[in-house]
Structure 1
Amino acid sequence: MILIVDDKPENIFSLKKILELNNFRVDTANSGEEALKKILKNAYALIILDVQMPGMDGFEVAEAISGYSKAKDIPIIFLSAINTDKRFVTKGYASGGLDYVTKPVDPDILLLKVKTFYRLYEQTMELTQIQDTLREEIEFRKEAEKKKDEFISIASHELKTPLTSIKAYLQLSERSIHDGNSGTTRQYLQRTMVQLDKLNNLIADLLDISKIESGKLKFNKKHFDFEPLLNSAIDIIRQTHDGVRIILTGKANVQVFGDEVRIEQVLINYLTNAFKYSPGTKEVYVDVSTSPDNQLVVKVKDNGIGIPAEKQAGIFDKFYRVEETSHRFQGMGIGLYICAEILRRHNGTYQVESEEGKGSTFSFTLPISGVL
Structure 2
Amino acid sequence: MILIVDDKQENLISLRKFLETNNFKVDTASSGEEALKKVLKTTYALIILDVQMPGMDGFEVAELISGYSKTVDTPILFLSAVNTEKKFITQGYETGGIDYLTKPFDPDILLLKVKTFYRLFEQAQAMHEMQEALKQEIEHRKMLENKKDEFISIASHELKTPLTSVRGYLQLLERLPEAKNNEKFKTYLGKTSAQLNKLRELIDDLLDISKIESGKMKFNFQPVSIEKLISNTLENVSQMYPEHAFKRIGQVDSTILADEMRLEQVLINYLTNAIKYSPNSKEIYLETALTEDNKIQIGVRDFGIGIPSDKLNHLFDKFYRVEESSYKFQGLGMGLYICKEIIARHHGEHGVESRLNEGSFFYFRLPLN
Q: Where on the TM-score scale, by shorter chain, does this alignment land: which range? A: 0.5 to 0.7
Distance 1:325 1:284 in 2: 24
Distance 1:203 1:132, change over 3 A: closer
Counterpart contact for 1:314–1:320, Cα < 8 Å? yes
What is aligned with 2:231?
231
> Secondary structure of the equivalent of 2:14?
coil
Pair 1:135-2:85 in alignment: no
Distance 1:76 1:238 in 2: 80
Return the letter of the residue paired with 2:63.
K
Distance 1:146 1:277 in 2: 29
Superposition map of 1:209-358 within 5 A: 209-324=209-324, 328-358=328-358
Distance 2:343 2:268 in 1: 14
**Superposed displacement of residue 204, structure 1:** 1.8
Superposition map of 1:29-108 within 5 A: 84=14, 86-91=16-21, 93-94=24-25, 98-101=46-49, 105-106=51-52
**Superposed displacement of residue 224, structure 1:** 1.8
Distance 2:183 2:175 in 1: 13
> Secondary structure of the equivalent of 2:262?
helix
Task: Give a deviation string over 1:63-109, Cα, whole Å, max 9, x none.
Answer: xxxxxxxxxx9x89799x9992652143464499633346xx43864
Gaps of 5+ in 1: 1-72
What is aligned with 2:178?
177
Task: Give a deviation string over 1:22-79, Cα, whole Å, max 9, x none.
Answer: xxxxxxxxxxxxxxxxxxxxxxxxxxxxxxxxxxxxxxxxxxxxxxxxxxx9x89799
Distance 1:101 1:173, change over 3 A: closer
Distance 1:211 1:82, change over 3 A: closer
Q: For structure 1, which segment, 188-197 or 224-233, has the greater mean C-alpha deviation from structure 2 after superposition?
A: 188-197
Distance 2:231 2:240 in 1: 14
**Superposed displacement of residue 268, structure 1:** 0.5
Distance 1:181 1:86, change over 3 A: closer
Pair 1:197-2:197 in alignment: yes
What is aligned with 2:72?
122
> Secondary structure of the equivalent of 1:297?
strand
Distance 1:85 1:334, change over 3 A: closer
Task: Give a deviation string over 1:333-356, Cα, whole Å, max 9, x none.
Answer: 111111111111111111112233
Task: Give a deviation string over 1:288-322, Cα, whole Å, max 9, x none.
Answer: 00113221101111122222222222211222222
Distance 1:259 1:97 in 2: 61
Return the letter of the residue paired with 1:114.
A
Distance 1:87 1:291, change over 3 A: same
What TM-score, normalized to structure 2? 0.63
Distance 1:182 1:114, change over 3 A: same
Q: For structure 1, which segment, 261-270 or 120-129, has the greater mean C-alpha deviation from structure 2 after superposition?
A: 120-129
What is aligned with 2:84?
none
Counterpart contact for 1:295–1:366, Cα < 8 Å? yes
Distance 1:325 1:267 in 2: 28
> Secondary structure of the equivalent of 2:324?
helix
**Superposed displacement of residue 259, structure 1:** 0.9
What is aligned with 1:66?
none
What TM-score, normalized to structure 1? 0.62
> Secondary structure of the equivalent of 2:200?
helix
Distance 1:109 1:212, change over 3 A: same
**Superposed displacement of residue 250, structure 1:** 0.6
Counterpart contact for 1:318–1:334, Cα < 8 Å? yes
Task: Give a deviation string over 1:101-157, Cα, whole Å, max 9, x none.
Answer: 46xx438643245335544443788975555422322245457778999x89xx9xx
Distance 2:355 2:61 in 1: 63
Distance 1:345 1:221, change over 3 A: same
Distance 2:326 2:189 in 1: 29
Q: Percent identity, please.
A: 37
> Secondary structure of the equivalent of 2:135?
helix
Gaps of 5+ in 2: 27-43, 75-123
